[in-house]
Each structure stands twice: as structure tokens, then as C-alpha cells.
């Protein structure tokens, strides 16, 4: 790193949201040393004229946990100017586990991320960090501690409240993770077994996060008709625990529920007025992505996937489930069937692992049913029976008006929610979310200024996640930087999702170039941040 470099005459957007100005920026020993005209000899010169220099983007919500291990050069992230990813979201992380829960965790995380090897789940955050660092990685990672693994270790897939003793065990385990590198707690209240927790358990765990000064990120209990109640439930947890919170991918799914996002924002505003520290993330698309099992009520997964497969052998259970999925009634837990409000035609089968299902990739469940001359439920059942419901699905379910309300609120941060999988057609957000916010939402649609867009992907998430000295261009800050063209743009589409973004000329991580002249350098200077 020794000699340092200067980026000359780029438009500098420093992450604060203030309009930028043209300046030189000098980097030495991995840090920003000077902002302003520099005539210092001996520095490597990077010509920034006509380009924009910003802090490296922080993807505050993604699921790159496994991809960081398997594809540590993270080409699709680097091409977007992303220099730090926050992983472990929605209650899914690759740690902690003990001997008894290792296999269950492998299946739990594998449901979302694709099949995992035995060596790809970890006893604790240190073991995960060691595995990451032994490969090296192009970008930084901050790992959240998933509630799913914590609960699997203590209660397995039992659908019951934890006892006081079990709460204590989970709390101690969480505290140990947070004190040794975990970046925060994440819960996924629609995903078993996280969904089975009661308030006492959630408050206890949030209190641990508060005590450790770390945030709680929540995939809340409903993004359908129950969105407002689910938002209040999360606010209540924050109020009761004193933790600071990030509401994950704020949205209202299904046409009958459109408009609820704006109401949820009012609830968040009221909470902030009351002194609760809460904000939210969202990605710039009208479709979401998850796995097929998420279309079922959490109660279907009591006992785990094998228990569900056994239940499906009962014609009565099967018939009841089929009717339940098409019924929009909200149950006592606040769950509303996604299928009932978006329809089978809005669920795209995006990625399968079982060769028997490959032919279905790229079809909606409705189309697949038509081809096979069966009911759409039969297709969903095949996904569960033939690959444990781990099929990646894309859900066309959001409204432009809601998206705009969410994105133009000052509490919003950009998180791709990307779920990298090696098979099939992933959601394009994993390849394009960040330039899409700049190119489409800021420049074309003019929802906010470019400087404000940059703030939502740099300083704001850095502060929320306690990434001190990152997410900003100021003297002394760590030199995670991106130098991009004014035409920086996303290329990935739903039809062709694996296309890399175009226009990031240079990307520096901890002062070292992981992309130069628009090409990856192969250097892996990334660190584990916690
Ligand atoms: Zn989620």
C-alpha cells in the first residue's frame, strides 16, 4: 500500500448527501489523507476528470454469506461499486451451530442459499471469519447473527415458546457472537424456526443486541395484509429492548395491500419521534425473491421439511393446505397467503437444483401447471417433494407508488436483498441494484439527487451498522471508494440476470484497487467487519 495514489479532479460525492465539488483525493496506507488540490510528487495518478468519486457502496441487506466463500472475487458486487456487504439477513446465517444442530442448520441455510456442504456451516462467527480470510475476498463483509441458527441450536424446529432457561442459552450464545465479531442480530419472523419465537424470546435477544451496541435487522412477520401489525410488533421489540433497528426490505406485497407501505412509513416516523432508533432498507425493483417454501404458512414447517413432506401424504392435509393458500384471510399470527394476493401467475420459478425440475425454470407456477395440465398447487408440491421447497422463486408483487414512497423517505437505505445462487436465473438485483438506483431512480426518474442516492448507500448504512470510518470521503476515513462514469448503469434484467453493471472505472477496498480501468484486478483486500 506504501506509496499511495491521487484521484485527480473527480466530482466528489462524500456520502453526506451534500452536493459535490471537483477535487483531488489522496489515499495513502489505506486511508484518505487529503481532499483538495494536490501537487505532491511520487503519487500514482488516477485521472478522475469527468468521473464521479464516491465512498464504496455498502450493501446493507444481502445474502452473500455463501457466495463470499465460494466466489470471493464477488465480481457482480465489484462491478456495482459495492465494497462492503452485510450478510446474515432475515434470520439466516451460516453460524452458530453445535454438533447437534449442524445438519439442521445446513438444511435451513441451504433452503435459501442452495445446497451447502458440511464444511459450509460454522460453529461460531470466528470460524466463519477464518474460512473467509483463508480464501481472501475482494470486498469487506459484516456478518449478522441469524436468529434461525440460534434457535435451531437450542430448540430445533419445535414450534413452541422457549423456556426461561432456553432464552438464557440463546442470549448467551448471541452475546458471545456479538462480542467476537457478529455485526448485529437478524430475525426472520416468517421463516421457521425464527417464526416460532414469542415476544419474551425476541425481547430477550434484542436486549442482548442493545447491550452490545449492535443493531437488530428484521424481516418482519408480514409484508401482506398484516404489514402494519408486523411493523408495530417490531417497534414494540425495539421499544422494550432499547435496541436500534433496521426493518428489512419495506414493502407491501399483493395488489389488495398496495398503499400500506406509506402507512408503515407513518408508523416508523411516529416511532422516531418517540425516540426509537429505526430505519429500513429496500431494493429498486417491483419484484421480490425468496424460496418456494416461503409460500406456505409457517405452521406447515413445524418439525422441519421432512415432517412437511410426510404431512403432504395425507389427502386431507393436502386439500386443506391447497384451500388455505388461495384464501386471503389473515390468521391469528397475522399471516396472509402470498398466493392469495399475488396469484400463481406472479410466481416465477427462478432456480432449481434437482435435474427433474430444470425444465420448469423460467416459467411461472401458473404456466408450469398449464403445461402439465394440473393445478398450480401440484407444481408447488413437486418443488417441496423433489427439492425440499428450496426452489428459488421471483415474486412480482409490488407497486411503483409504494416503491417511490419508500425510496423517497429519508430513513431509507439501499439494500439489494440479492440471493446469489449458482443455478438458474437469480433476481437481477444481485447484479444491478446499486447502479440502478443511481441511473434510473436518481437520474431518469429524479426521485432524489445523485448525492442523496449515494448517502443512502454509504454513510447512512455505515452509521446504522456501526462501520466507523467507512461510508464517507473525509480525511482519516478508510479508503473504500468507487470512481464511476456518469453513465454507470445496470444491465441485468429478469430475462438475462447475470449481466454485470457497466461504468465502474475503479473500485478500491481498504485502499487497494479491486477493479482498475473497468476490470477486476484479482486482489483480495477485504476484511471481516463486526
Ligand atoms: Zn427477507
Q: What is the mean pLDDT of residues 269-281?
A: 98
Distance 234 CA to ligand 1 centre (A): 14
Distance 220 CA to ligand 1 centre (A): 8
Q: What is the mean pLDDT of residues 387-398?
A: 94
Distance 368 CA to ligand 1 centre (A): 26
Distance 186 CA to ligand 1 centre (A): 10
Distance 249 CA to ligand 1 centre (A): 7
Distance 320 CA to ligand 1 centre (A): 27
Same domain, 156 and 258: yes
| Closest by CA position to 376, among listed 322, 452, 444 | 322
| Residue 42 lies inside a defined structural domain of this protein | no
Distance 218 CA to ligand 1 centre (A): 8
Segment 486-524, tens digit of pLDDT: 999 999 999 899 999 999 999 999 999 999 999 999 999
pLDDT at 4 > cutoff 50: yes
Work out whether strand 52-55 and strand 44-47 pair parallel, antiparallel, or are unpaired: unpaired
Domain that holds residue 457: 57-286+398-487+501-514
Q: For the purposes of burial, counting CB atoms within 10 Å of the CB of 287, is it exposed (0-12), middle (13-18) or buried (19 or more)? A: middle
Segment 336-351, tens digit of pLDDT: 999 999 999 999 999 9
What percent of the chain lies above the pLDDT cut of 70? 99
Same domain, 72 and 167: yes
Tell me the C-alpha distance between 71 and 466, whole Å. 26
Where would I find the H helices in 28-124? 67-70, 75-78, 102-113
Distance 248 CA to ligand 1 centre (A): 6
pTM reported for the whole predicted model: 0.95
Same domain, 362 and 448: no
Distance 316 CA to ligand 1 centre (A): 31
Distance 90 CA to ligand 1 centre (A): 4
Tell me the C-alpha distance between 77 and 59, whole Å. 9
- Domain boundary pick from 396, 422, 448: 396
Distance 321 CA to ligand 1 centre (A): 23
Same domain, 392 and 402: no
Per DSSP, 91 falls in state: G
Q: Reduce the DSSP state of residue 380 to 3 states and report it.
A: helix
Same domain, 374 and 510: no
Distance 188 CA to ligand 1 centre (A): 7
pLDDT averaged over every residue in the chain: 96
Tell me the C-alpha distance between 63 and 198, whole Å. 25
For residue 161, whether the previous peptide bond is cis, meaning omega lies within 30 degrees of 0, is: no
Q: Are 26 and 477 in contact (CB under 8 A)?
A: no
Beta bridge mates, 482: 54, 507
Residue in the structure block whose three cell numbers are 412477520:
221
pLDDT at 39 > cutoff 90: no
Residue in the structure block whose three cell numbers are 421432512:
306
Same domain, 346 and 362: yes
- Using CA atoms, how far residue 243 sits from 62, 197, 275, in Å, is 21, 18, 11
pLDDT at 118 > cutoff 80: yes
Tell me the C-alpha distance between 194 and 199, whole Å. 12
Distance 303 CA to ligand 1 centre (A): 22
> Residue 301's pLDDT is what?
87
Segment 443-491, tens digit of pLDDT: 999 999 999 999 999 999 999 999 999 999 999 999 999 999 999 999 9
Segment 201-247, tens digit of pLDDT: 999 999 999 999 999 999 999 999 999 999 999 999 999 999 999 99
| Residue 523 lies inside a defined structural domain of this protein | no
Distance 288 CA to ligand 1 centre (A): 9
Distance 524 CA to ligand 1 centre (A): 28
| Residue 522 lies inside a defined structural domain of this protein | no
> Residue 1's pLDDT is what?
42
Per DSSP, 162 falls in state: P
> Residue 302's pLDDT is what?
87
Distance 217 CA to ligand 1 centre (A): 10
| Residue 243 lies inside a defined structural domain of this protein | yes
> Residue 304's pLDDT is what?
86
Amino acid at each position: 500500500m506504501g506509496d499511495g495514489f491521487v484521484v485527480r479532479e473527480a466530482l466528489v460525492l462524500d456520502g453526506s448527501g451534500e452536493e459535490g465539488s471537483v477535487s483531488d483525493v489522496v489515499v495513502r496506507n489505506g486511508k484518505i489523507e487529503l481532499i483538495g488540490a494536490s501537487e505532491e510528487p511520487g503519487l500514482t495518478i488516477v485521472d478522475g476528470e469527468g468521473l464521479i468519486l464516491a465512498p464504496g457502496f455498502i450493501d446493507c441487506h444481502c445474502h452473500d454469506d455463501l457466495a463470499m466463500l465460494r466466489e470471493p472475487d464477488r465480481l457482480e458486487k465489484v462491478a456495482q461499486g459495492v465494497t462492503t456487504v452485510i450478510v446474515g439477513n432475515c434470520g439466516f446465517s451460516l453460524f452458530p451451530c453445535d454438533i447437534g444442530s449442524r445438519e439442521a442448520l445446513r438444511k435451513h441455510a441451504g433452503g435459501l442459499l442452495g445446497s451447502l456442504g458440511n464444511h459450509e456451516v460454522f460453529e461460531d462467527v470466528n470460524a466463519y471469519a477464518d474460512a473467509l480470510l483463508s480464501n481472501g475476498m475482494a470486498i469487506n463483509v459484516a456478518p449478522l447473527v441469524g436468529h434461525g441458527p440460534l434457535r435451531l441450536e437450542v430448540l430445533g424446529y419445535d414450534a413452541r415458546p422457549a423456556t426461561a432457561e432456553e432464552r438464557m442459552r440463546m442470549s448467551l450464545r448471541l452475546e458471545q457472537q456479538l462480542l467476537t465479531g457478529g455485526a448485529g442480530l437478524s430475525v426472520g419472523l416468517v421463516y421457521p424456526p425464527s417464526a416460532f419465537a414469542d415476544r419474551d424470546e425476541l425481547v430477550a435477544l434484542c436486549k442482548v443486541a442493545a447491550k452490545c451496541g449492535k443493531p437488530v435487522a428484521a424481516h418482519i412477520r408480514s409484508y401482506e395484509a398484516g404489514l402494519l401489525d408486523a411493523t408495530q410488533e417490531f417497534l414494540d421489540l425495539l421499544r422494550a429492548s432499547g435496541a436500534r433497528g433496521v426493518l428489512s426490505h419495506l414493502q407491501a406485497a399483493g395488489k389488495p395491500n398496495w398503499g400500506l407501505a406509506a402507512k408503515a412509513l407513518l408508523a416508523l416516523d411516529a416511532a422516531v419521534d418517540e425516540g426509537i432508533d429505526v430505519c429500513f432498507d429496500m431494493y429498486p425493483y417491483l419484484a421480490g425473491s425468496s424460496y418456494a417454501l416461503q409460500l406456505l404458512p409457517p405452521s406447515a414447517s413445524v418439525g422441519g421439511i421432512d415432517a412437511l413432506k410426510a404431512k403432504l401424504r395425507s389427502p386431507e392435509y393436502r386439500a386443506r393446505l391447497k384451500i388455505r393458500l388461495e384464501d386471503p384471510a389473515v390468521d391469528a399470527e397475522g399471516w396472509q397467503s402470498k398466493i392469495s394476493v399475488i396469484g400463481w401467475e406472479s410466481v416465477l420459478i427462478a432456480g432449481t437444483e434437482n435435474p427433474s425440475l430444470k425444465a420448469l425454470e423460467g416459467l411461472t407456477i401458473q404456466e408450469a401447471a398449464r403445461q402439465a395440465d394440473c393445478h398450480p398447487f401440484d407444481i408447488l408440491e413437486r418443488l417441496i417433494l423433489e427439492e425440499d421447497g428450496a426452489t428459488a422463486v421471483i415474486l412480482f408483487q409490488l407497486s411503483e407508488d409504494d416503491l417511490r414512497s419508500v425510496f423517497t423517505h429519508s430513513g431509507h437505505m439501499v439494500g439489494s436483498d440479492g440471493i446469489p445462487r449458482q443455478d438458474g436465473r437469480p433476481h437481477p438485483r444481485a447484479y444491478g441494484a446499486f447502479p440502478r438506483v443511481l441511473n434510473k431512480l436518481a437520474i431518469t426518474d429524479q426521485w432524489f439527487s445523485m448525492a442523496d442516492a449515494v448517502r443512502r448507500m454509504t454513510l447512512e448504512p455505515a452509521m446504522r451498522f456501526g462501520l466507523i470510518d467507512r461510508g464517507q470521503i473525509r480525511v482519516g476515513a478508510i479508503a473504500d471508494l468507487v470512481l464511476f462514469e456518469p453513465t454507470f448503469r445496470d444491465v441485468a434484467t429478469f430475462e438475462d440476470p447475470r449481466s454485470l453493471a457497466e461504468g465502474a472505472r475503479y473500485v478500491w477496498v481498504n485502499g487497494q484497487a479491486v477493479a482498475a480501468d473497468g476490470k477486476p484486478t484479482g486482489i483480495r483486500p477485504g476484511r471481516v467487519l463486526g
